[in-house]
Structure 1
Amino acid sequence: MNHTSAQSAPDYQQLAQSIKSWAQELGFARAAISGIDLSHAEAGLSEWLAKGFHGEMDYMARHGLKRARPAELVPGTVSVITIFMPYLAAGQAPDAILADTSKAYISRYALGRDYHKVLRQRLQQLADKISAVAGEYGHRVFVDSAPVLEVEIAKQAGLGWRGKHSLLLNREFGSFYFLGELFTDLPLPADPPLPKEHCGKCTACIEACPTQAIVAPYQVDARRCISYLTIELKGAIPLEFRRAIGNRVYGCDDCQLVCPWNRFAAHSAETDFAIRHGLDDVSLLELFGWTEADFTQKMAGSPIYRIGYAKWLSNLAIGLGNASPSAAIASALLARRHDESELVREHVEWALRNAGYVENE
């Protein structure tokens, strides 16, 4: 980054206040500023990687400690502006869907349009507003697009504290929101972190995890996490987790749903996050009946699109294998028993046997 100052250096204190106001005008709930010293997080990151908790997410290991060193990721960075935007949309109660084995549970963040584009565009607008006051300056916008320790950065900026499920918690908004960052070479005054965390002795998230992925407070083994298994994992989902997955076909919110702080989670006013295609209350059979053309058309602009049709079907097959048995489910599974995708075939075969539609050999 090369910061070319305006004729006179801006009042950075005033600029920081303006940034926070502009962020709210752009639809972000909050903006806060941190420095770039994350050295305190390096040991924990190294240990997490050494244990293999990142699973097949090779990019996490590939970038290593660069995740904790913003100035190595973007040379010249001296300040990070972090924003968050709530995404929870009004819709069918999650608990009701999870309790109905015929329904498909989709993580609340994926019910609307893909958040990456929404946040990136707004962050770029924020960057442009800063440029109008500060002149040309070095900056980069990130929304899940680089090795950024975003929770640690947001925590350092005072936007919340890390919950035992490893997500950022905020007293006013809980944890149902997206984070984004603007790395800059502007020496903006940093906001103080919160004086303490507010989870206390609560372990609701740890106890609620269907696959025991929260192996210790603040530590998640992604290889056991349903979000990882249904989204990031490219191959077959390990047998040991398939029954525990239940009807969760894309992601999992259990650790957030039981968190007391999410009683205060506000619904988002952002229209892009409104529920599409009735995905908050839809049957597994309906989704399993989609053709690849249906999937491509309906999931365009959705974060679900990136997992691809075969992964989508294989996740749904697990849900159908865990559902209360019915002739319709048996027929649908048998119809895909010889699917062209090996991944789909394997999960369909498991579903048929788990539900007793065919005998185990």
Structure 2
Amino acid sequence: MASTAAAAELLITGAKVYPAPGVAPIDNAAVLVRDDRIVAVGPAAEVVAGEDATVIDAGGGVVLAGFWNSHVHFTEPKWAGAAGLPAPRLQSQLQEMLVRYGFTSVVDTGSDPRDTGPLRARIESGEIAGPRILMAMSPLYPPDGVPYYVRDALPPELLPLLSRPSTPAEAAAIVRANLAGDGDVVKLFTGSWVERGGAAKPMPVEIATAAVEEAHRHGALVFTHPSDVRGLEVALESGVDVLAHSVEELDGFKPSHLQRMRERGMVMVPTLKLFSVNPEPKLAAIVREVGDYQRLGGEIWFGTDVGYIEDYDPALEFALLRRAGLSFDQILAALTTAPASRLPGGDGRGRVESGMVADLVVLEGDPARDPEAWTQVRYVFRNGQRIFEAAASRAR
């Protein structure tokens, strides 16, 4: 009879564990992982591991579920040709940009799928340690509505490849093709900054509606870049699921817009750090928009637009969310349970509970007491495997 290999065990002990938003923390706790699943969480004296378990002393730190960043890009030149780049280089880049900050799941809301697809495949094969990547494939822009910053960044020969549907049927066909490929979600630009300093160009409602309806037929969520109130109106009328940014240009914005968003179950990914370059009155208005939506009961997901933003540190995003009035539990939900409840692969993730996938973050301090602790990451685990250790990173 063939022997069966024993399951690998990991014990994280000496920690405060926050199982989920709104759930009382467990002091002096331990988390036992077997292969890729959490099998026990509780007071350290009650969680017993096998003799061969790998034991990690959290040293009084905090254990949380792995973080989700619901707005990232792999558009920097260093990701070009990812299929053939050396694995150590890609792993180092992923660590620098995402993993060291606790992100175990990310949503790529628009990059070159010829790079992101192979990168994801190499991560999932185990060749490279990195986060789960959900992909939007090629975004859909309004007719003649590619944003100026996209045009400026792309080689001219690639511009004709961008999706700018001019009819509902064309929009539906593009969505079908994206989802038949590696796409997990769909990204629209219902408002596009075509010219620097100009007005945003809205996507025709009938085109946006066709894209959304086709995505929903395939069970996919639709993200959009709204830009201004007209772009938000298109998103509301067409049934978009997720604002990939808070609304930036707020002329004409009313409390009723937030109410309509809430009634439709629309998610907001604030990306406040992106807007921090705005003068204070405008930034303050955007921050207030986010806080008002949270207070209204709207759903917020954490996202930074990292990859487009070349400063990877999310500390300012956390600070601006706190300024908007989000509590520890609300920020934790935006990082974990909220996106996990609706995005592909989220079932089984987002909580530190028995039976859940062992995507875990160990922080040096407690962000419920010290807000700066959100970015003080000591360890990151994905599927029960250690993919980041701060001490090892500092030693290199």
Question: Does TM, normalized by the shorter one, top 0.5?
Answer: no
The structure whose RCO (Cα within 8 Å, separation 6+) is larger is 1
Greater helix share, structure number: 1
Greater strand share, structure number: 2
The normalised TM-score by structure 2 is: 0.22
The normalised TM-score by structure 1 is: 0.24
